[in-house]
């Protein structure tokens, strides 16, 4: 590609500005991996997954449809949360603590989608009363604390989650994010490997691993190749991930491949 003096100047300014943003910790999508996910279908009995309970099945279907469309507002968040609370209070749930826990957890998720952190934490904590070992409810508490800029409380919640369930992949990912931000990169990689041992295609953990390698590149430029390899692996699982292509573009900038970087940012 032949570049004019003007376009060369544009690319130089662009790359210098973006590199400065990286150094300041901006642009890497540091919260992009913080996804509060529905209950793990393999960790609960069938009824707790909503099977055989029409109200839970309907509430889950409506929730996932809004998630897919990214069509949340305050009214829809509150409405979804209320619908899940009705499931938790229904006769179907009276003798099924797992169903109660999942329904209350989903109520918390609905609030989280609109940034209603206090209501979200309440839902997650109520879910933990019904089922103290509920991995994703405890992770939800941790993510809410991270969103409120309380990393110490977030890490405490994540570590409680893995103590209660050593297959809680979301908690390992959360711990790794906190460790990355405080510069404990080796420990972050260890926890991400634990997450991926449980769930090999866990997109948010793969993305976090790319961010860790990107951070390692400040002292060892060869880590950029590892970061790009992880991005390539992640693309196989999530080919439309905006966070992935944003991070990948930053890696390319650090490698001096500005044209490639622009292509990644356009994809993002």
pLDDT, tens only, 134-152? 999 999 999 989 988 999 9
pLDDT, tens only, 69-83? 999 999 999 999 999
pLDDT at 101: 93
Q: How far apart are CA 247 and CA 32, in angstroms?
A: 10
CA distances 163 to 22, 160, 178, Å, are 34, 5, 17
Q: Which residue has the tokens 């060892």?
A: 220
pLDDT at 36: 65
What are the residue boundaries of the structural domains of the chain, listed by start?
A: 1-30+167-268, 36-165
Tokens at residue 7, please? 């376009």
Q: How far apart are CA 234 and CA 226, in angstroms?
A: 12
pLDDT at 35: 59
User: Is the pLDDT reported for residue 260 higher than 60?
Assistant: yes
User: Is the pLDDT reported for residue 167 higher than 70?
Assistant: yes
Tokens at residue 202, please? 């866990």
Dihedral sign computed on CA atoms, order 251, 253, 256, 260: positive
Report the pLDDT averaged over residues 86-112: 92
Q: How far apart are CA 158 and CA 179, in angstroms?
A: 12
Report the pLDDT averaged over residues 213-240: 96
Residues 6+ apart with CB under 8 A from 176: 187, 188, 189, 191, 192, 195, 205, 208, 209, 212
What is the CATH topology of the domain spanning 36-165? Answer: 1.25.40
Q: How far apart are CA 121 and CA 105, in angstroms?
A: 9
Q: How far apart are CA 185 and CA 182, in angstroms?
A: 8
CA distances 45 to 39, 52, 56, 97, Å, are 11, 11, 14, 11
Residue 196: HSE in the Cβ half-sphere, 13 Å Cα cutoff: 20
Picking from 183, 210, 215, the residue whose alpha carbon sits closest to that of residue 33 is 210
pLDDT at 48: 44
| Runs of H (alpha helix) within 26-134 | 54-69, 74-88, 97-113, 117-130
Query: Quick one: CATH architecture of 1-30+167-268?
Result: Alpha Horseshoe (1.25)
pLDDT, tens only, 3-42? 444 444 444 444 444 444 444 443 444 454 565 676 654 4
Calculate Rg over the CA atoms of the chain. 20
């Amino acid at each position: 590609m032949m570049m004019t003096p003007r376009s060369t100047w544009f690319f130089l300014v662009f790359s210098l500005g973006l590199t400065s943003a990286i150094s300041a910790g901006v642009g890497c999508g540091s919260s992009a991996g913080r996804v509060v996910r529905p209950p793990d279908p393999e960790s609960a009995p069938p009824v707790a997954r909503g099977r055989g309970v029409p109200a839970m099945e309907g509430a889950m279907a409506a929730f996932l449809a809004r998630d897919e469309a990214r069509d949340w507002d305050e009214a829809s968040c509150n409405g979804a949360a209320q619908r899940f609370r009705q499931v938790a209070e229904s006769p179907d749930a009276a003798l099924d603590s797992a169903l109660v826990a999942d329904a209350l957890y989903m109520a918390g998720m609905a609030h989280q989608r609109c940034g209603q952190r206090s209501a979200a934490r309440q839902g997650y904590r109520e879910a933990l009363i019904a089922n103290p070992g509920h991995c994703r409810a405890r992770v939800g508490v941790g993510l809410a604390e991270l969103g409120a800029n309380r990393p110490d409380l977030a890490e405490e919640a994540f570590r409680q989650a893995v103590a209660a369930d050593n297959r809680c992949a979301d908690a390992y990912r959360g711990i790794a994010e906190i460790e990355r931000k405080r510069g404990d990169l080796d420990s972050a990689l260890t926890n991400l490997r634990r997450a991926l041992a449980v769930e090999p295609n866990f997109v948010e953990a793969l993305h976090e691993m790319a961010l860790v390698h990107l951070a390692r590149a400040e002292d060892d430029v060869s880590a950029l190749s590892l970061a790009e390899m992880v991005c390539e692996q992640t693309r196989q699982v999530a080919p439309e991930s905006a966070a992935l292509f944003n991070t990948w573009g930053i890696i390319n900038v650090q490698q001096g491949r500005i044209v490639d970087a622009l292509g990644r940012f356009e994809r993002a």
